């Protein structure tokens, strides 16, 4: 199987780029952030603070997360319920970052991710795919952009949808989440030594997709 890992901070365009690359090569796109988000949604549903490590761990035996592909699109199921939309709610973002710092949560989601990669050609995006989940992936990329550019893109995306947001609040959330994700002890956000760095600050979406696709020979 061919495995392509794309890691990087929140808002660097990983999911859009990974999706396009997967489509181009006919691979399955695996969004691993959705897994952490669904664990956080389960905690929120049970009124468990996502910073309460013990309670989150106690919840895991009754947590079932599955990925399904419907018309080629990833859907995530939490205890049999499709939560693909719910996991995108703003409160799920920081909550996902919190639960993702818990080693038992990472362990809980490990086999699911490795099995996907063992059985399919995948483009998998996340934070630790090239470093921990798929250290032997044939292709590894680290896609990043400055925090300002990422906040700017998010601001445009939301305002275009008619959602009013404060730019500084967005920037602050991005900086805070980067800090959280790169300073946790287990599997922090980090570029793998053998990953190709792509800084998309001055690239269009098409250019980022090309930069990755051009390196892949299948």
Q: Tell me which of 100, 131, 144, 200 binds ligand DC, using CB under 6 A.
A: 100
- For residue 21, give every residue at least 6 positions away whose Cβ sits within 8 Å of its Cβ, in sequence order, or none: 4, 6, 27, 123, 209, 212, 213, 216
Q: Tell me which of 3, 5, 6, 33 binds ligand DC, using CB under 6 A.
A: 33
200 binds ligand DC (CB under 6 A): no
CA atoms of 189 and 9, how far apart (whole Å): 7
CA 27 from chain centre, in angstroms, equals 17
CA atoms of 204 and 186, how far apart (whole Å): 33
Q: Tell me which of 127, 140, 150, 154 binds ligand DC, using CB under 6 A.
A: 127
The pattern of x and - marking residues 35 through 54 that bind ligand DC according to CB under 6 A reads: -xx-----------------
Q: How many residues bind ligand DC (CB under 6 A)?
A: 15
177 binds ligand DC (CB under 6 A): yes
CA atoms of 172 and 98, how far apart (whole Å): 16
Pick the piece of the chain touching ligand DC (CB under 6 A) from 48-56, 61-69, 120-128, 150-158: 120-128
CA angle 139, 143, 148 (to 5 degrees): 180
Nearer to ligand DC, 127 or 150 (CB): 127
178 binds ligand DC (CB under 6 A): no
Going by C-alpha positions, the residue among 34, 107, 99, 20 that lies closest to residue 68 is 34
* Residues binding ligand DC (CB under 6 A): 10, 32-33, 36-37, 93, 96-97, 100, 126-129, 177, 181
């Amino acid at each position: 199987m061919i495995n392509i890992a794309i890691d990087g901070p929140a808002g660097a365009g990983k999911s859009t780029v990974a999706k396009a690359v997967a489509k181009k090569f006919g691979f399955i796109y695996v969004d691993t952030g959705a897994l952490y988000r669904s664990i956080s949604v389960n905690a929120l549903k049970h009124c468990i603070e996502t910073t309460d490590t013990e309670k989150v761990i106690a919840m895991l035996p009754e947590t079932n997360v599955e990925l399904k592909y419907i018309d080629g699109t990833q859907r995530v199921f939490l205890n049999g319920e499709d939560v693909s939309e719910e996991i995108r709610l703003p409160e799920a973002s920081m909550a996902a970052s919190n639960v993702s710092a818990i080693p038992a949560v990472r362990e809980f989601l490990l086999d699911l991710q490795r099995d996907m990669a063992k059985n399919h050609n995948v483009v998998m995006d996340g934070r630790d795919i090239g470093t921990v989940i798929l250290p032997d992936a044939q292709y590894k990329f680290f896609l990043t952009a400055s925090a300002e550019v990422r906040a700017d893109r998010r601001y445009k995306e939301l305002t275009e949808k008619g959602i009013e947001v404060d730019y500084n609040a967005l920037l602050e959330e991005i900086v805070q989440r980067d800090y959280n994700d790169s300073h946790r002890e287990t599997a922090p956000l980090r570029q793998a030594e053998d990953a190709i760095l792509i800084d998309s600050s001055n690239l269009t979406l098409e250019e980022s997709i090309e930069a990755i696709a051009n390196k892949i020979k299948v």
